[in-house]
């Protein structure tokens, strides 16, 4: 095939000022082709008759790579991507469709669903939403993902430390009411269940996890009329994420007073 045959039959010259959309007559374009004109060929009808050209600014945006196809509870930590951000370019209207409610742009990388527990390092394709494929171009199509899947085995444990008891005061009473004389002050022998790796860390009294555990008794609106009285209420044990209380919630007694009543 000659160079002349590989060249486009016609081109469209856009004149300034350019609007968002320009309509071009295909009949006029075809009749202006020298190859046809010199051969004595005249185009009398074209379907479709017009070519609609949409014009808009080109835009770039940085997208953060996020993991897809994985339950966060199955991960023993965050997924690390390299690169962790990808530059996207395309028409402004297409790029704007990628912006989430939080103003951020993300691209999903799908983790394999057949991976075994343990550490993994895999190469993954990142994908632009199907509706925008062909309009938005990423500067990278693959990323390296490093992550650790925890064993899905569930385990139970009686915590080897006591859980402190505290009150949860509604915002309207902050600085006005305080609870005191908790009975018990701490909860011994709290039983919890959850993923085996977190349970193992709690068994070792991991300081970071231990600091997250507390038992909370909520102060209610009617408590304002029970100043000084003994109140007994169910406490909510709040363990680390992924771990739950195994058994009935404990009950705690306490009294309340106004902070200025010293």
Residue ranges per structural domain of the chain: 18-31+41-56, 58-149, 154-258
Q: What is the DSSP letter of 26?
A: H
**Could you give phi then psi for residue 39, rounded to 5 degrees?**
-85, 0
Of residues 115, 70, 206, 80, the one with CA closest to residue 243: 206
Q: Hey, what are 113's tokens?
A: 């669903």
Question: What are the Cα distances from residue 91, in Å, to 48, 96, 133?
Answer: 25, 9, 12
What is the Cβ-side half-sphere exposure of residue 259, based on CA atoms within 13 angstroms? 7
How far, in Å, CA of 170 to CA of 218, rounded? Answer: 8
How far, in Å, CA of 26 to CA of 52, rounded? Answer: 10
pLDDT for residue 1: 43
pLDDT for residue 81: 96
CATH of the domain spanning 154-258: 2.170.120
pLDDT for residue 12: 59
pLDDT for residue 9: 56
* Residue in the structure block whose two tokens are 């899905």: 152
How far, in Å, CA of 45 to CA of 27, rounded? Answer: 7
For the whole prediction, is pTM greater than 0.75? no
Q: Do domains 58-149 and 154-258 have the same CATH topology?
A: yes
Q: Hey, what are 89's tokens?
A: 């370019």
pLDDT tens, per residue, the chain with 262 residues = 444 455 555 555 655 545 566 777 777 777 777 776 777 777 777 777 776 666 778 899 999 999 988 888 788 889 999 999 999 999 888 898 998 888 889 999 999 887 788 899 999 999 888 888 888 989 999 999 999 988 777 889 999 999 999 988 776 566 678 889 999 999 999 999 988 888 988 999 889 999 999 999 988 878 888 899 999 999 999 998 889 999 999 999 999 888 775 4
pLDDT for residue 165: 94
Residue 168: strand, helix, or coil = strand
Q: Hey, what are 147's tokens?
A: 């992550």
How far, in Å, CA of 121 to CA of 28, rounded? Answer: 58
CB 172 within 8 A of CB 225: no
Q: Is 45 exposed, middle or buried (0-12, 13-18, 19+ CB in 10 A)?
A: exposed
CATH superfamily membership of 58-149: YbbR-like domain (2.170.120.40)
């Amino acid at each position: 095939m000659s160079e002349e045959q590989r060249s486009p039959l016609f081109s469209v010259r856009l004149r300034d000022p350019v609007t968002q959309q320009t309509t071009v007559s295909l009949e006029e374009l075809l009749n202006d082709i020298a190859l046809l004109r010199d051969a004595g060929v005249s185009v009398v009808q074209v379907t479709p008759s017009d070519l609609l050209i949409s014009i808009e600014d080109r835009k770039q945006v940085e997208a953060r790579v996020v993991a897809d196809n994985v339950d966060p509870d199955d991960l023993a930590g965050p997924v690390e991507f390299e690169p962790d951000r990808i530059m996207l370019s395309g028409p402004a209207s297409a790029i704007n469709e990628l912006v989430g409610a939080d103003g951020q742009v993300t691209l999903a990388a799908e983790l394999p669903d057949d991976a075994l527990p343990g550490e993994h390092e895999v190469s993954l394709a990142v994908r632009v939403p199907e509706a925008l494929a062909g309009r938005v171009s990423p500067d990278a199509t693959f990323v390296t993902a490093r992550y650790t899947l925890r064993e899905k085995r569930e385990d139970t444990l009686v915590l080897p430390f006591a859980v402190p008891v505290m009150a949860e005061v509604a915002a309207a009473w902050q600085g006005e009411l305080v609870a005191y004389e908790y009975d018990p002050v701490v909860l011994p022998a709290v039983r919890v269940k959850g993923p085996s790796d977190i349970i193992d860390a709690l068994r070792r009294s991991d300081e970071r996890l231990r600091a997250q555990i507390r038992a909370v008794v909520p102060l209610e609106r009617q408590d304002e009329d029970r100043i000084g009285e003994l109140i007994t209420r169910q406490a909510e044990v709040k363990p680390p994420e992924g771990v739950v209380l195994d058994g009935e919630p404990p009950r705690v007694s306490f009294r309340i007073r106004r902070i200025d009543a010293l």
